[in-house]
Structures are given as C-alpha cells and as structure tokens.
Amino acid sequence: MATMVQTSIGFQIDLAKREFREICSELDGIKRLFAIRRRERAQQEIKCQLAALRFEEALIRYAKVCRKAGFNPGQPRVPAGSREGGQWAGGGSGASNGSESNSRVRLADATRIFPSPVMSDAGPDTIVPGAQYAQAPINFDTSALTGISKIDDTTKQLANTLARIKDVVDYLPTFTPQRYGSAVHNEFATTVRALGLRGIAPSDVETTFGGDYYGAKGSVRTDVVLRNDVGDVIAIYDVKTGEKGIEPARAAYLRLKVGVGNEVPIIQMSFKDGITRKYIPMRKTLFVQAIGET
Amino acid sequence: MSMEVHVFSDRRLNSIAEWQRAIDTEQFQLRLAGDVHFADASGFLPATLEGQQTGFECYHDDAMETMRFLGVSNFTQFWKYALGFRWGADFSTLEAVWMAATAYADATAGIIFDHEEGRVFTPKQGRELIAKFISERPRIKAFLEDRERRLSIKP
C-alpha cells in the first residue's frame, strides 16, 4: 500500500515537473517572441526615421534647385479682394520677380537634376494598373491612365509625391482629422510648387479659374493643373484626404470653369477609408482614378 | 479645392447679413464679404478671420443629389437645402469654414457633414471642433516654421 502511494506521488511529481518544464519552455518561447517583436518595432522606427530624413534631404535639395530657378516660397501674394489677388507680389527673387509672364516659370533644371522626384523607387516607367510605386501603397485605377505619357508620368510622379508626403506628415503630432487633411494639402501644394515638374509651374498649383482673381465672384481653384508645351491645360489633379471623393457634378463644374472639355481628365488622388479617421493617422492605400466623363 | 463640408438644412438664410449676424452670435472673429449676393453665391466668398484675409468657395448644391453621393445612411432625415464649402491648403481657411458652417447650421437648425471624417456634426459638435482648432494653433505654427526652416536651409 505504502509503495503504491509512493509510486503515485512520484508519478505526480514527475508529471508536475514535466508540466513545469513545458511551461518554462513556453515562457522562453514567449520571451523570444517578445524580443523579436521589439526588434521589429525598433527596425520599423528606424525605417520611419530614415524615410523622414530622406524626405527632408530631398526637400532641401529641391529648395536649392528652386532658389537657382528663382522660386521663393516665402514670396508674398497680393491678398484676395483686388484684381491681382492671389498673384505673386514683389519680393520674389531671380526669374520670378517682375512681370506676370515670368510668374509661370518652368523649372526645367529641376527635372533634369532630379529625374525621379521625391526619392521615388520607380523611374519614369509606364504606369501599370494596380502597381505600387511608393512606400504607402498606390493603386492606379485604369481610369487614371490616359495612354498619354506626359500625363501618365506626371500622375505617377504626383502620386509618389503625395504618398511620401503622407508618410512624413504621419509622423507629426496628432492633429484633428480636419487639420491633418489641411496639413497634407498644404505640404503637397508647397512640395509640388518646389518640384518644378515639367508642365507644372508654381502658378499651376492652386490656380484660379473663372475669375480674374481668387475672390472674384464665381472663381474656383484647382489643386494642380498640368499644361502642354503651348500652355493648355491637359489634366486636372485633385487631392482628397477625406472619406468622400469628388462629385461628378463638381467635376463637370471644374471643367466648365477651367474651360476644358471632357477630353481633359480630372484625376483624383484619394486615401480611401479616411487617412485621418479616429484621430490616428494610418498608412492607407492611395487611390488614383479619373472622375466624371472622359 | 479638395476639402469640403456641407451644411444641410430645411431653411436657408436670406442674406450674407443674416449669416453674419449668426456668426456674431457665436462670437467668432469672422467677417464675410458683405457685397456678395448670397442667393447666387457660386464660387469664392471672401472673408476675414481675426483681421486676416481668408475665404472659401461656397455653393448652393442640390441637397438630394449631395445626400445620395455622401450616402443617405449617414443621415437621419432628408434635408431641403445643401450649402457646400470647398477650400484647399490654407490652415486658417479651415477655421473660417467651420465657424461659418457652424453658425449657418445653428441659425437654420441644420447639421454639418464633414467629408474628412465622413460623418455628421451638430452645431454643438462644430463649436467643440473649432475650440480644438484654436488649441492646435501653436502646433500648426510650429509645423509651418519647421517647414519654412527646411526649405530655407542655406546650400
């Protein structure tokens, strides 16, 4: 009897020891998992910081190029309410200082020096629907493709720029969703002005149409317009940071004000699902698509 | 211009002066251009915010069409009128728009639909949001100064 009890106790002790060893082994596994996660998080943070540094470096390089070309982002504008409202006022430098015709300076030098703007991973290849071109995934809808290389290449460059900007703005302290949307728009406008893409002069960013000045009755502003070599608008770009896109009626109204027909695409670049939802900036896919009839 | 809000209501204000009175009631430091004929407003509406020039595009949109576009499930009733506000990259314009929209919605017993969040705001929630915008001003200033510094670093 005593032997049986001893055997049973011994068995239970062995069982407990085995279970203890298993628990220890599982704990070690969990510890290893946590260590891996920590390393991954640290790597992610370093990647983010590197991306921000690369973007900052690119901005500095663009600023240098722009200065050479005479673009001064701090140059004042004539306030709204007058005939010249919104146009560059005095105080600019170099080429952009002076006459109205000079205000649309094409910064061709910039594109030569930086054929692949804003550290794009991709060169000026043909856009492939569904392909991803920047850190934040970009989804090109087939409707955004025109088959015209100048437009398609610009679409790709602007989408890459916007995706990178969003990556950088994501690291800013959290704003309200509305402020965050403004920050993305503001940074995008400033960067595109400085980029000097072929066909997009600084004055083609937030351009006034439908009136002599922004403030005239019925005047509207587009985010970015692309022009051909003779100065005609060949594409209109609109950035959307919110939940909703451009209404077709709005697209038609924009075309009317810009004075173009349905052959000119209105290309919407939007972060669907709301990049700013719930006050937490998330890396969302950038959707690029044409709006309205083309 | 890519940022938008809409105010939906069952009645409209008759003039800019009436709208201005609603803004003054809210004690917002916003002044709309008095020479604009509100019933025909379709495009830029000049304004000043705390003495600084600003403004936004303002449109009388088709309420039903706009609600359909935004998703009728976002609304608890059908509204007769939709006043659209559109603007771009300017930070102060955001504040001006929300002040104007909140005052308009309150004066007409309407609601505000924010395209950024894709949801409805009551005038009370609009006021709370404006208070947040005002509290964010120092961070916006820092953001702009930082960008200015980045762009003006000497070669």
Ordered mean pLDDT values, 10 residues apiece, chain A (294 residues): 79 88 89 83 74 70 61 54 54 38 28 30 40 60 84 88 73 70 83 88 86 66 90 89 74 84 86 42 59 59
Interface check for A244 against chain B (CB to CB < 8 A): the answer is yes
A186/B155 touch (CB, cutoff 8 Å), yes or no? no
Tell me the pTM: 0.63
Separation CA A126–CA A140 (nearest Å):
12
Domains along the sequence of chain B with CATH: 3-151 (3.30.1400)
Q: Starting from the edge strand earliest in sequence, which strands make up the sheet with B30-32, in order? A: B30-32, B42-49, B52-62, B81-87, B3-9, B111-114, B119-121
C-alpha distance from residue A259 to each of A150, A201, A262 (Å): 20, 19, 10
Pairing of strands A205-209, A220-227: antiparallel
The average confidence (pLDDT) of chain B is 89
- Give the CA dihedral A12, A13, A18, A23, nearest 10 degrees: 100
The 8-class DSSP code of residue B11 comes to S
Tokens read off for A71: 């673009």
> pLDDT 10s digit of each residue in chain B, 155 long?
578 999 999 999 999 999 999 999 999 999 998 888 888 888 888 899 999 989 898 999 999 999 998 888 889 999 999 999 998 877 889 999 999 999 999 999 999 999 888 889 999 999 999 999 898 888 878 877 877 776 665 44
Q: What is the pLDDT of residue B154?
A: 46
Residue A202's φ and ψ, nearest 5 degrees, are -50, -35
Q: What is the pLDDT of residue B124?
A: 97
The one-letter amino acid code at A31 reads K
Interface check for B77 against chain A (CB to CB < 8 A): the answer is no
Q: What is the pLDDT of residue B20?
A: 97
Q: What is the pLDDT of residue B48?
A: 93
A175/B139 touch (CB, cutoff 8 Å), yes or no? yes
Separation CA B17–CA B38 (nearest Å):
9
Q: Which residues of A touch B1 (CB under 8 A)?
A: 220-223
Tokens 């070669």 — which residue? B155
DSSP string of chain A, one letter each residue = -HHHHHHHHHHHHHHHHHHHHHHHHHHHHHHHHHHHHHHHHHHHHHHHHHHHHHHHHHHHHHHHHHHHHT--TT--BPPTTSTTTTSB-S---GGGSS-TGGGS---HHHHHH-SSTTT-SS-SPPP-TT---SSS-EEE-GGG--S-HHHHHHHHHHHHHHHHHHHHHTTSPP--HHHHHHHHHHHHHHHHHHH--TT--GGGEEEEESSSSBTBTT-EEEEEEEE-TTS-EEEEEEEE-SS----HHHHHHHHHHHT--TTS-EEEEEETT-TTGGG-----PEEEEEES--
Complex ipTM: 0.80
- Locate the chain A residue with the closest alpha carbon to B136: A175
Q: Which residues of B touch A81 (CB under 8 A)?
A: 33, 46, 53
Instruction: Give kind and range of the element (H or E) at residue B84.
Output: strand B81-87
* C-alpha A211 chain-centroid distance: 29
Check: CB of residue B52 under 8 Å from CB of residue B82.
no
Residues 6+ apart with CB under 8 A from A293: A248, A252, A262
Q: What is the pLDDT of residue B121?
A: 96
Tokens 């060169």 — which residue? A123
Residues 6+ apart with CB under 8 A from A57: none
Interface check for A78 against chain B (CB to CB < 8 A): the answer is no
Check: CB of residue B93 under 8 Å from CB of residue B56.
yes
Which of A165, A159, A161, A163 is CA-nearest to residue A127?
A: A159
Pairing of strands A138-140, A286-291: parallel
Separation CA A289–CA A155 (nearest Å):
10
Separation CA B39–CA B16 (nearest Å):
9
The one-letter amino acid code at A50 reads L
**Buried-exposed string A29-51: b where 16+ CB fall within 10 A, e elsewhere:** eeeeeeeeeeeeeeeeeeeeeeb
Tokens read off for A1: 């009897």
Q: Which residues of A touch B88 (CB under 8 A)?
A: 185, 189, 206, 221, 223
Tokens 């998703």 — which residue? B71
